[in-house]
Amino acid sequence: MRNANFILWRALVATPIAAGWGALAFYQWGFSPLITSITSFTLGAVLFYSLGRLANARLYKKYGLARKEYYFILDNLKEAKEKLSRLQKGFIKVRSINSFKQMIELNRLVRRIFSIVKKEPQRFYEAEAFFYSHLDSVVELSEKYAALNSHRMKNESVKQSLIETQETLNDLTKILENDLHQVLAKDIEHLSFELDVAKHSLKKRNLIDPNDKRRL
């Protein structure tokens, strides 16, 4: 959606300027139709391209990333989005309430991490293990579990596999929680710092009794 809006914005800026130049060149300065068309098109193309380069440069600077890094992260997010779709399909085959709750929690954690990195691509490096390993494990095991769980007739071997897979998914849920905590670690650290500063400021103003040991 951003790309579509970005292209439309560049076109809306470049087109009127190029058209205005064409009108001046033809009616005011007497350029021939051919020269007017060529120069107008060239001006529009240069503006369109330049606006794109300028906006992208500001975007890379905002996230503190090089161009190559930015597009590398976008590629990883694209792959992750496809895996998220595969994970969500597992809901259809799950039959038990406990399994359904487990799948909901897995999806919640996965989508939370994905959405944070999508919004702030520089955080990708704080969640590399998630994108390179943990997400794949969750998707593959969830698909295996959903497939086994869809069988109406379950022998002992299938039941044992279901139990083992569910236990592994429980372990992966904890790993995903750690991944989320890792992604949010800087925010948590920043919040703690802000609270310490605010507490110190209040004490200096004598709004807090120095002998009061209670926490804010």
Separation between Cα atoms, residue 120 and residue 30, nearest integer Å: 51
Distance between CA atoms of residues 133 and 181, nearest Å: 17
Asked whether residue 148 falls in the same domain as residue 43, the answer is: no
Q: Answer yes or no: is 141 within a domain.
A: yes
Per the domain annotation, does 22 fall within a domain? yes
Q: What is the DSSP letter of 123?
A: G
- DSSP 3-state assignment of 30? coil
- CB distance 113 to 132 below 8 Å: no
Asked whether residue 177 is domain-assigned, the answer is: yes
CB count in 10 Å sphere of residue 73: 20
CA atoms of 179 and 118, how far apart (whole Å): 15
Task: Name the residue range of residue 111's domain.
Answer: 73-204
Q: Which of 169, 190, 188 is nearest to 109 (CA)?
A: 169
CA angle 108, 138, 186 (to 5 degrees): 55
Joined tokens for residue 30? 């007497």
Judgement on whether residues 87 and 191 belong to the same structural domain of the protein? yes
**Average confidence (pLDDT) per 10 residues, the chain, 216 residues:** 65 83 81 85 83 74 83 92 86 71 88 92 92 93 81 74 86 92 71 51 58 51
Q: Are residues 44 and 92 in the same domain?
A: no
Distance of CA 117 to the CA centre of its chain: 4
Token pair of 19, please?
């058209």
In a domain, 68, yes or no: no
Q: Do 112 and 180 touch, CB atoms closer than 8 A?
A: yes
Determine the pLDDT at residue 201.
60
Number of domains in the chain: 2
The three-state secondary structure class of 1 is coil
Q: Using one digit for the tens of pLDDT, what is the confidence trace for 59-98?
A: 777 788 888 888 899 999 999 999 998 888 766 666 677 7
Q: What is the pLDDT of residues 52-65, one digit of tens each?
A: 777 777 777 778 88
Q: Would residue 174 count as lying in a domain?
A: yes
